[in-house]
Structure 1
Amino acid sequence: MKETKEYTRSLTIARQLCDIMQQHQLQDIGELKEWLEHNNIAVETIQLLMDGSELAKKVELYRQQDKEMAILALRTKIRNYQRHRLFIRISSIAATIILLISFGLLFHKLSQQEESQALVSIIPTISSPMIITPDGEYHDLSKITTDTTHHLNIAYKSTEEIKYTYQSQANNIEEERFNQLIIPNQCNYQVTLCDGSIIRLNAGSRLEYPNSFPSHERKVRLSGEAYFEIKHDGRPFTVEIRQASIRVYGTQFNINAYQDTNIETVLVEGKIGISIQDSSHQEKILKPNQLSRLNLLTGEQEIVEVDIQKYIAWTTGFLRYDNDPLELLIQDLNRWYGSDFEFSDNNLKNIRISASINKDTPLQEVLAMIQTTAKIKFHLIERRYLITR
């Protein structure tokens, strides 16, 4: 079982790295490493075993529209395992991509973190919400059958949400095993956990959670943005975001953790405490209509009164900005519309803009509005928008 899990994780990371190389048109391992470092992404050095006499296997990953079928094809070709090298040769329609992951070749920063964090740093390129089980099984939520939902302990599923089977009592479990719910760009999704708590995930986000909570606590992990409605049941509820944590007992709040260094939390109702793990900084209490901006590098935390509607507008299908930097709006457009943008001048990122955008508005209409408001221009060049004066 352990070898199977290691094998599955290795396949997962290999596929994710290949997706990144193809999506960002990276030519070799050097460019991949630079991209990972630039985006502050950590990669665990994981060993994948190859056939004894061969160092690599050529696999047609992208000849099939269904990437999961390609992964299954890869699994049938790999029989033996080594401990010191991962070398995967992947043939695509356009070219052969060579991935070489060995100890020290790609920097690794996860050696002291929990095993469950191995896949957190990389969000794979997907087109619909996906669940990765603790055993490494991939399930596309747009395709799973009734039998599969029963197997996953899901009581209800639609195109926009899933609900886990409600458990009125805590479970005496020895070890928490976390699922990963991954939301692609251009998509929002809602999950109701086994305790009845509701979490709405914004585009490009990831949530880790167990099928069952232990008797003493409820804990989830977030990357991206989510709106929480936590059901009160006596056990503390903790949201972990990298090295910070938010502790609640029954409340509604929004967390924006897209950035690597800052975490923004807005409290709608109730009370929450925010702290940095393994730090001497005391927990800071947030009150309704307050925003906490926590810098993970310095430990500095700013708490201010805000109009919370601006920060939770995405849950009702809107993007709102009030004298915010243009860079923030462009980042949101990238996540929601799935389009790439590039600034010709970094000074353009600081242009201030106020706007309210319905997420159903066609991108070209949104860009036309921004051009008029911010006095800038968008030039479409090879599927990427260049932003100029």
Structure 2
Amino acid sequence: MKKVEDKIKEAQEIARQVEEALTKGNWEQVAPDSPYLHEEVGIPERLHENIKLHDSFDTEKALRTFISATRPARRFPVLYKYVAAVACFLIFGIGYYLYQSTSSSTGKTELMAKSAYLILDDGRQVDLSRQVQLDYNGTRIINSDAGKVSYQKAQDSPSTSPNKLIVPEGTEYSLQLSDGTNVHLNAGSTLVFPSTFDNASRVVELSGEAYFEVTHSGVPFIVKSNVMNVKVLGTTFNMTAYPGDPTATTTLLTGKVAVTCHTPSDTLGQTTVLTPGLQACFHVQENILKVDSVDTAERIAWTRGEFAFEDVELGRIMTIIGRSFALDVVFDNPELKDIKCFISIQRDKGYNEILKILHLATGVKFKKEGNEIRVYK
């Protein structure tokens, strides 16, 4: 207990130092060796505003509330004392709000509300909510209870019949392709792939989001989507290409990839090559391709069952939460979509707890009505 009290006192002292630094206009003196503090805390002027408005704020209570409501801080390259300070700042000026809901269910029941399924080339549907072992066109399809279906080449076959894995909103699923490549699909995603790859190409089509661990081969592995194509030989990367989203992204963890982006009216497209730690982001309406360094751990947090957002608009956050729990989201005021925040919380906490944390971080309110989440002030 003394250790916790010491950390609270340390956080209070850091908060005092930050306020003093901001008052004097010397933000850099707070953490001269930590460029990440700016990203963790946010806009200095906004933080200063909050501090001045809440001089009598109970930082000890705020820190206890934050720690009890969320998991321990993620693996950011920031010293503990600054994370503790940020925990206090997150709660400044925000009253606790009991989320109104007509449903009390939480956890994995919400996440796994629907089952993934396969569609084979003859139109047959294979339910993946049960164990499956199926010999089909020279391929053995095996589905266990571990949330993963695998394609194993059982014999030489000229057939490369197309298959489709559909992962509805509210669930996730993993797939092992016949070449050993592993694919983890996020909620509301679809992957079209051949039962076996031939010797000339390895091509799949993605709608949604997936994390790929591509088996190395001299045959290129190509992921196609409506606006972005990725070509690799063997690597790990995350790709997001949901129809209707304003952006499509590819984030590279290891190896090297070539990314080509295009719109229906732009047949030439734009191409870039990524090295580890870079993300290609294609803005569809503007037809602009941007490449930036990113926190790859945050970008693939969903594969660890975690929501992790840094300075992300609430509209984007709620789109992801809606897909993950198969819920519709409606904003009373479109301006609320532009509010930015950062949170990190395990997805199996359930949407009730996640929305409580979002309220703490933004002051925005949420109400569940049927299958719809209403967002309002």
Coarse TM-score class (shorter-chain normalised):
0.5 to 0.7
Query: What letter is aligned with 2:250?
Result: T
Q: 1:262 aligns with which of 221, 229, 247?
A: 247
Give yes or no for the alignment of 1:211 onto 2:195: yes
Classify the secondary structure of the residue corresponding to 1:128. coil
- What's the TM-score, normalizing by structure 1? 0.63
Q: Which of these residues, 290, 306, 309, is aligned with residue 321 of structure 1? A: 309
> Does the 8 Å CA contact 2:171/2:325 hold for their aligned counterparts?
no
Offset at residue 275 of structure 1 (A): 1.1
Correspondence for 2:296: 308
SS at match of 2:267: coil
Residues 1:307 and 1:130: Cα distance change in structure 2 (over 3 Å): same
Give the whole-Å Cα distance in 1 for the aligned partners of 2:157 and 2:285: 37
Counterpart Cα distance in 2 of 1:299 and 1:198: 31
Q: Alignment partner of 1:283: what SS? A: strand
Match of 1:240 in 2: 224
List runs of 5+ in structure 2 lacking aligned partners. 1-112
User: What SS does structure 2 have at the residue aligned with 1:364?
Assistant: helix
Quote how far apart the aligned CAs of 1:288 are: 0.5
Please say if 1:272 is aligned against 2:257: yes
Deviation for aligned residue 1:145: 4.2
Count how many residue pairs are aligned between Structure 1 and Structure 2: 261
The correspondence of residues 1-389 of structure 1 with structure 2, limited to 5 A, is 127-143=114-130, 145-147=132-134, 153-166=140-153, 173=158, 176-260=160-244, 261-276=246-261, 279-389=267-377
Distance in 1 of aligned mates of 2:157 and 2:167: 30
Provide the residue aligned with 1:40 in structure 2: none
Give the whole-Å Cα distance in 2 for the aligned partners of 1:320 and 1:259: 22
Q: Secondary structure at the match of 2:234?
A: coil
| Amino acid across the alignment from 2:129 | S
Q: Aligned partners of 2:274 and 2:252: how far apart in 1?
A: 7
Q: Whose relative contact order is higher, 1 or 2, with alpha carbons under 8 Å and at least 6 apart? A: 2
> What SS does structure 1 have at the residue aligned with 2:251?
strand
Q: What amino acid sits opposite 1:136 in the alignment?
A: G
Answer whether contact 2:134 2:140 (CA < 8 A) is retained: no
The one-letter amino acid paired with 1:133 is: L
Residue 294 of structure 2 aligns with an amino acid whose one-letter code is V
- Measure the CA separation in 2 of the matches of 1:280 and 1:304: 22
Q: CA RMSD in A?
A: 2.3
CA displacement 1:9-68 (0-9 Å, x = unmatched)? xxxxxxxxxxxxxxxxxxxxxxxxxxxxxxxxxxxxxxxxxxxxxxxxxxxxxxxxxxxx
Aligned residue identity for 2:164: Q
Q: Which deviations, in whole Å up to 9, do the C-alpha atoms of 1:277-319 show, x marking residues without a partner?
A: 6732352101110010013444321000111111000111101
> How far did 1:383 drift?
3.7
**SS of the residue 2:297 aligns to:** helix
Runs of 4+ that moved beyond 3 A: 143-152, 296-299
CA distance in 1, matches of 2:152, 2:239: 25
Structure exhibiting the larger radius of gyration computed from Cα positions: 2
SS in 1 for 2:123: coil
Q: Amino acid of the residue matched to residue 284 of structure 1? A: T
TM-score (norm 2): 0.65
Q: Report how far residue 368 of structure 1 moved.
A: 1.4
- Residue 76 of structure 1 is matched in structure 2 by none
Deviations 1:207-236 (A, max 9, x none): 110111121110000011000000011100
Structure 1, unaligned stretches of length 5 or more?
A: 1-125
Q: Which amino acid aligns with 2:252?
A: L
AA in 2 matched with 1:221? E
Q: Quick one: structure 1 residues 270 and 366, their matched pair in 2 at CA, closer, same or farther if it must change by over 3 Å?
A: same
CA distance in 2, matches of 1:357, 1:303: 27
